[in-house]
Amino acid sequence: MESITIKDVARICGVGVSTVSRAINNHPDINPETKEMIMQVIKENHYVPNNSARNLKRSDARAIAILIKGISNPFFNSMIKVFEEEIQKKKYTLVLQHVDEWQDETEVALELEKEKRLRGIVFLGGFASHSEDQLKKIPVPFVLSTVSLLGEEYKNDYSFVSVNDVEESFRMTDYLIRQGHEKIAILCSSENDVSIGALRLAGYKKALESHRIPVEESRIRHMDPEVDTYSIKSGYKLTRELLDEGVDCTAIFALSDSMAIGAVRALIDAGKKVPEDISVAGFDGTEMAAYYNPAITTIRQPAEIMAKETIKLLFDSIKKKTKVQQLIFDGELVPGESVKKRK
Amino acid sequence: MESITIKDVARICGVGVSTVSRAINNHPDINPETKEMIMQVIKENHYVPNNSARNLKRSDARAIAILIKGISNPFFNSMIKVFEEEIQKKKYTLVLQHVDEWQDETEVALELEKEKRLRGIVFLGGFASHSEDQLKKIPVPFVLSTVSLLGEEYKNDYSFVSVNDVEESFRMTDYLIRQGHEKIAILCSSENDVSIGALRLAGYKKALESHRIPVEESRIRHMDPEVDTYSIKSGYKLTRELLDEGVDCTAIFALSDSMAIGAVRALIDAGKKVPEDISVAGFDGTEMAAYYNPAITTIRQPAEIMAKETIKLLFDSIKKKTKVQQLIFDGELVPGESVKKRK
DNA sequence: TTGTATGCGTTATCAG
DNA sequence: CTGATAACGCATACAA
């Protein structure tokens, strides 16, 4: 039960602790033979260095943390792989950290930065835009990824990369309208979401207005905050309500692919055909949307590129090459089989 | 940039460090007034304790780690929530740790145990059953969850909870046969998988044999190990090959729901109808399978119960109440819309 | 109830 | 190239 420490290894080898330390850290100033001997003893005795002690002492950890809010979000999956690759490429260590829905990501960041001596942080998802002054306390460079901060006041304070939520939402809505749909319901996140949910809703409204179509409040459906927002279930539930209330619409625009899938299933269960009776569109461009039946017409976010640029931005900050920057990407409308041209 | 430490807080408050320590750790022996004063100073100066230092010193961390191999596996999602709840209920802290596909989970466990002074560990997924003697080195109780160790020799060495893979696979295959299918293709994991993939394949073979149906090797499809096994993509790819090679079959049994979905999509893309032309069945009972169109006929694993029992088992071990135990659960065949009775 | 001193396991800074 | 030794930031036994 009792663990072996670096001292024990030193004693067994008949050397000083600093020599052992040099061996395990690939320090240059060490005799290859002694090093080999030490490594041998380490293997034999199953010595594992204590990371807490290391982090405590070390000043240079070369570690980047990614804080993920909403681990079940399939959209993040493709990004995480890229993060891993890019960070490894820079010879940095990656710390993947979950943040629960109810947790404050800045608090987690603060703790983790101390614990692991981070060089930089990526916030993936989340950010209800409260906790704005909390961000100021973070002592290392960070980038908000997949997050749009509302309001001009943040414009030059923080780095973030995101898709152009308003424009892409506009694009999809406009597309639906050009396909002959005027009565378009929209499935949103919770009512008090001021982040991407609000932006996408704004794009929807903007598109309707540009076509002089009145915005009908009964077609705007918000999810209760307690239910996992953007999930399949919420898409199903909201569509169910839509049908039960007899809201008149020929198309449903869901603000995530997962919600779109839930919507399609709800329609099928109600005996409707997609897209013959009602068209459905999503947002994100996930793998699931492409493989669904019917394939979901959606907006593809350039996830891999966004992830890559997030890391580039972060390292620019770390190397002090640049000041804060905002990168806003265009998406791409991917036609599937879930939207039909009317008349 | 320079961080504030407990000493600084003590100095500012005009008290000793131990008093500050007592304040932040809810120690009973402390004057409520001084405590409040200290907490006030802490808030004002944004003091955050260093976890590395804490872990280093602390002997009792009351922490449980869950090591997850294959974070994108949607089947694990429902389990993680339960883990969080159950562990919190016991007033323990949960450490969620990803393990990359190429990483050795026992190595990660060993490191983490030292770093965080863990009381127990749950291994979720993974375990190619190599690294068996590595398990012996782990100095705290642990439970393998969703893992079946092949071979009688492990029978009494390690605790694990899993579904009865052989029997459930048998159940599904038997069901397909009773629905009039004889030519049943099976989509497996990689050829050298000796874990659940091998068990489920065994169940398939057993069912065929019990009905005196010859096992046709061309209907057994293995995925290359380099592709994400059990994924939608691999289901698609394997089905594609099946079709391209003109393998004769009336049903496809995929060893995961994700693969089943990929299979359905591949069939649709090839102009086939599911289940009219070919039936498809999955395994796991994920949310996605239920919401797919057609809903996937699958084996539901009692994920929540399994998660709960995993924790119970772990705490029994921690409290030394029990020796190692194996818990093997029955699944449930959930009929969907993807399997059709023939003739 | 509070303060002081010690050590947790490592790495970094020195002399040798 | 190597070996003492001083931090790192905190919790705790012990003394007050």
Q: What is the pLDDT along chain B (343 residues), one digit of tens a residue?
A: 578 999 999 999 999 999 999 999 998 888 999 999 999 999 999 999 999 999 999 877 789 999 999 878 889 988 999 999 999 999 999 999 999 888 899 999 999 999 999 999 999 987 765 567 788 889 999 999 998 766 655 566 889 999 999 999 999 999 999 999 999 999 998 888 778 899 999 999 999 999 999 999 999 999 887 778 889 999 999 999 999 999 999 999 999 999 999 999 999 999 999 999 999 999 999 999 999 999 999 999 999 999 999 999 999 999 987 788 999 999 999 999 999 999 7
A128 domain residue, yes or no:
yes
Asked if B83 and B312 touch (Cβ cutoff 8 Å), the reply is no
Q: Do B25 and B122 have their domain in common?
A: yes
Residue A343, in any domain of the structure: no
Residue of A nearest to B98 (CA): A96
Q: d(Cα A13, Cα A20) in Å, to the nearest integer? A: 9
Residue pLDDT, tens place only, A202-237: 999 999 999 999 999 999 999 887 778 889 999 999
User: What is the average pLDDT across A104-117?
Assistant: 94
Amino acid at B44: E
User: B91 and B188 share a domain?
Assistant: no
Residue-level pLDDT at A128 = 65
Q: Which two tokens stand for residue B299?
A: 């084996």
- The two counts, helices (H) then strands (E), for chain B are 13, 12
Asked whether residue A342 is assigned to any structural domain, the reply reads no
Has residue A153 got a pLDDT over 70?
Answer: no
Q: Does B231 lie in the same domain as B146? A: no
> Do B262 and A1 count as a contact with CB atoms less than 8 A apart?
no
CA distance B147 to B126: 7
How far is it between the farthest Cα atoms of chain A? 87
- Does B334 fall in a domain? no
Task: List the single protein residue with the shortest CA to C1' distance from D9.
Answer: B53
| Mean pLDDT in residue range A27-52 | 94
Write out the residue range of the structural domain in which residue A62 sits: 6-164+303-329
Residue A264 has pLDDT above 70, yes or no: yes
Q: Are A310 and A250 found together in one domain?
A: no
Find out whether the peptide bond into A275 is cis, omega within 30 degrees of 0: yes
Query: Do A148 and A172 share a domain, yes or no?
Result: no
- In this structure, is residue A84 part of a structural domain? yes
Number of domains in chain B: 2
3-state secondary structure of B12: helix
User: Nearest nucleotide to B57 by CA–C1' distance?
Assistant: C8
Is the Cα torsion angle B220, B225, B229, B232 positive or negative in sign? negative
Residues B129 and B221 in one domain: no
User: How much is the mean pLDDT over chain A?
Assistant: 92
Nearest-CA neighbor of B97 among A56, A98, A119, A107?
A98
Instruction: Supply the CATH number for residue B323's domain.
Output: 3.40.50.2300
- The answer to whether residue B201 is domain-embedded is yes
For residue A133, pLDDT over 90 is answered with: no
Q: Do A91 and A200 belong to one domain?
A: no
H/E stretch holding A186 = strand A184-187
Nearest-CA residue of chain B relative to A72? B77
Q: Which residues of B touch A287 (CB under 8 A)?
A: 232-233
Do A85 and A185 have their domain in common? no
Please check whether residues B65 and B212 belong to one and the same domain. Answer: no
Do both A109 and A186 map to the same domain?
A: no
Q: What is the 3-state secondary structure (H, E, C) of B200-250?
A: HHHHHHHHHHHCCCCCCHHHEECCCCCCCCCCHHHHHHHHHHHHHCCCCCC
Query: Which spans in chain A are helix H?
Result: 6-13, 17-24, 32-45, 51-57, 74-89, 105-116, 132-136, 165-178, 196-210, 232-244, 257-269, 287-291, 303-318
| Binary contact (B52, A49; C-beta < 8 A) | no
Do B313 and B193 have their domain in common?
no
In a domain, A93, yes or no: yes
> Is A111 among the domain residues?
yes
Q: What pLDDT shows up at residue B129? A: 58
Predicted model pTM = 0.92
| Token couple for B198 | 């091998």
Chain-centre distance for alpha carbon A183: 31
**Which position has the token pair 């976890």?**
B51
The residues of A whose Cβ lies within 8 A of any Cβ of B are 1, 3, 46, 48-53, 55-56, 71-72, 74, 77, 80, 84, 96, 98, 100, 110-111, 114-116, 137, 139, 232-233, 236, 261-262, 264-265, 268, 287-288, 291-294
Same domain for A147 and A22?
yes
Higher per-residue confidence, B323 vs A170:
A170
Rounded Cα distance between B282 and B333, Å, is 10
Residue A301: what pLDDT?
97
Å from B22 (CA) to D11 (C1')?
Answer: 9
Terminal alpha carbon distance of chain B: 75
Three-state helix/strand/coil letters over B68-135: EECCCCHHHHHHHHHHHHHHHHCCCEEEEEEECCCCCHHHHHHHHHHHHCCCEEEEECCCCCCCHHHH
Q: What does residue B338 show for φ and ψ, rounded to 5 degrees?
A: -100, 0
User: Measured CA to C1', what is the nucleotide nearest B22?
Assistant: D11
